[in-house]
């Protein structure tokens, strides 16, 4: 997921590496992401939907992921690598994505699918990311970790 204002976005052309051929079947289809329930969490929440069994992601490594992002309150999808038919590559822990991704993907293993519920302070904060993401929005991502280098 793109970082705050003035920084790269997954909508911009970036070099990508294809997913490895042994990608688990459950990661070969775009997941349905439900809106949040109850009050939005105040802290980052991680939930492994599919446990990976490959290499674990650590800070400084190049990750390749597929993802879907929705708004917590409405469930409205605002971005998905699946729609571009192109996995999203980035370096973990270097601030090229929102803080919730840098923190929430640490330790995830290749072949895994993880749901992140990210409070505004670790997403886009007060400024949001108009027009799709308003100010102080809590976001939900389902992220598939395809590769770690």
Tally helices (H) and strands (E) across the chain: 2, 6
In the annotation, is 78 catalytic? yes
Q: Which residue among 79, 88, 102, 133 is the active-site one?
A: 79
In the annotation, is 141 catalytic? yes
Q: What is the DSSP string of 25-86?
A: GGGSSPPP-PPP-SSPPSS-EEEEEE---SPBP-TT-EEEEEEEEEETTT--EEEEHHHHT-
In the annotation, is 124 catalytic? yes
In the annotation, is 133 catalytic? no
In the annotation, is 140 catalytic? no
Q: Which residue among 124, 133, 140, 143 is the active-site one?
A: 124
Q: Which residue among 90, 98, 118, 140 is the active-site one?
A: 98
Q: Which residue among 72, 140, 141, 144 is the active-site one?
A: 141
Q: Which residues belong to the active site?
A: 67, 78-79, 98, 124, 141
């Amino acid at each position: 997921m793109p970082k705050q204002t003035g920084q790269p976005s997954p909508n911009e052309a970036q070099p990508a590496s294809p997913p490895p051929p042994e990608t688990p079947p459950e990661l070969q289809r775009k997941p349905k992401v439900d809106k949040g329930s109850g009050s939005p969490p105040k802290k980052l929440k991680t939930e492994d939907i599919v446990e990976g069994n490959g290499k674990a992601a650590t800070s400084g490594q190049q990750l390749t992921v597929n993802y879907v992002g929705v708004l917590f309150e409405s469930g409205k999808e605002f971005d998905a690598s699946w729609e571009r038919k192109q996995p999203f590559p980035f370096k973990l822990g270097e601030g090229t994505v929102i803080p919730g991704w840098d923190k929430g993907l640490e330790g995830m293993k290749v072949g895994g699918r993880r749901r992140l519920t990210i409070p505004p302070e670790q997403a886009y904060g007060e400024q949001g990311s108009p027009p799709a993401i308003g100010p102080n929005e809590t976001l939900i991502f389902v992220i598939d970790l395809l590769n770690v280098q």
